[in-house]
Structure 1
Amino acid sequence: MGSEEGENADSLERFCPTDEEIEKWMCSAFEMARDALENGEVPVGCLMVYKDEVVGRGRNEVNETKNATRHAEMVSLDQVLDWCRHSNLDTKSVCEQTVLYVTVEPCIMCAAALRLVNIPVVTYGCRNERFGGCGSVLDVSSADLPHTGTTFKCVSGHRAEEAVEMLKTFYKQENPNAPKPKPRKD
């Protein structure tokens, strides 16, 4: 193993959350997901924790903002960037020491963003069988992708059944933001 790989392994070990930490932070992420559901969004909630402090939190805001990129992870990451600016801290250093907690496996877009900013650990609830970027569809988290940041460790399955039930509840509803069907011209 090369020295860079060894340093990455040491870094991952330092930032592996305990079961108690996972429960604490995932509880807050699920509160964010419930808020998303109550506001007509896909129920995904996310926290980014740096040195035991929440520096970013988000829930899906796609329908609310009419912006398909406003996933919980992206909202949370934007808050981390703002927090770093206001705290006069180096974003790269902060991200390399931040653990992300999210109720559903990050999609490919979000996993790529997390990799680019060098988040070392992502803890999530259920798998995302349609868009998952941590192994369900594509494994952005550990794939050999040159010039795309550092791989990250995934800790999956925490309260997965609860996350799935929330998703089922959302998808049973009608989406008022869905485009209206257009009559066919034959």
Structure 2
Amino acid sequence: MFIKPQTTLCSLAISEQDIYFMRYALELADRAETIGEIPVGAVLVDSEGNIIGEGWNQVIQLSDPSAHAEMLAIRQAGKEQNNYRLLNCTLYVTLEPCTMCAGAILHGRIHRLVFGASDYKTGAVGSRYHLFEDYKMNHFLEIRGGVLAEDCSQKISRFFQRRRKEHKQQKQAV
């Protein structure tokens, strides 16, 4: 018997709170860019609107392939709450989560996910993979994509344009 998943993709107007926290996630993405990381930022907020976790990509700096912005925010929130279950929380992230981060979102029982830019290479929320639509999962969440999508997308695009230009200049210098 097929049971339709309870995950919902919101189509309502974007709330002021969503814009506020996505702007903050963009500020966190700037921290990643400052240290030469892919500019992705994430912030985890409880049901009262309090920030309980934040992160920015630090894969290179920490020599840790799991040090994505979402993972760092989720880890911090788990420690803050003294619980791996992050019930009634919203995760804001500037880029659609990958499969690893989507798995952590599921295991953390995060209630709501809000992301900015879609990731057609590794996104697990519908652009490439559809992890949250698997009816066999034991947790479903509310998803809102495209919040400040242009700002989020431009930040990443500019980063990779600069990186390609720098690599080209390095090759020419040799």
TM-score (norm 2): 0.82
Instruction: Specify the alignment match of 1:41 in structure 2.
Output: 37
Is it true that 1:73 corresponds to 2:64 in the alignment?
no
Q: Distance in 1 between matches of 2:52 and 2:102?
A: 18
Instruction: Specify the alignment match of 2:128 in structure 1.
Output: 137
Instruction: Give the superposition deviation at 1:91.
Output: 3.8
Match for residue 156 of structure 1 among 145, 158, 168: 145
| Match runs of 1:3-42 below 5 Å | 19-42=15-38
Letter of the 2:87 counterpart: E
Identity over the aligned pairs, expressed in percent? 26
Q: Secondary structure at the match of 1:35?
A: helix
Which one has more relative contact order, counting CA pairs under 8 Å at least 6 apart?
A: 2
Structure number with bigger Rg: 1
Displaced runs of 4+ in structure 1, greater than 3 A?
173-176
Query: Deviation digits for residues 132-165 of structure 1, max 9, x if unmatched?
Result: 010111111221234xx41222101111111111
Q: Distance in 1 between matches of 2:77 and 2:108?
A: 11
Instruction: Specify the alignment match of 1:114 in structure 2.
Output: 105
Letter of the 1:21 counterpart: Q
Q: Distance in 1 between matches of 2:21 and 2:132?
A: 21
Letter of the 2:71 counterpart: M
Is it true that 1:172 corresponds to 2:161 in the alignment?
yes
| Structure 2: gaps of 5 or more residues | 167-174
Letter of the 1:140 counterpart: L
Instruction: Give the superposition deviation at 1:34.
Output: 1.3
CA RMSD in angstroms, aligned pairs only: 2.5
Contact 2:19 2:148 in 1 (8 A): no
Instruction: Give the superposition deviation at 1:47.
Output: 0.3
Instruction: Give the superposition deviation at 1:21.
Output: 0.7
Instruction: Give the superposition deviation at 1:18.
Output: 6.3
Measured at CA, do residues 78 and 17 of structure 1 come closer, stay the same or move farther in structure 2, by a change above 3 Å?
farther
Q: Secondary structure at the match of 1:102?
A: strand
Q: Distance in 1 between matches of 2:35 and 2:158?
A: 13
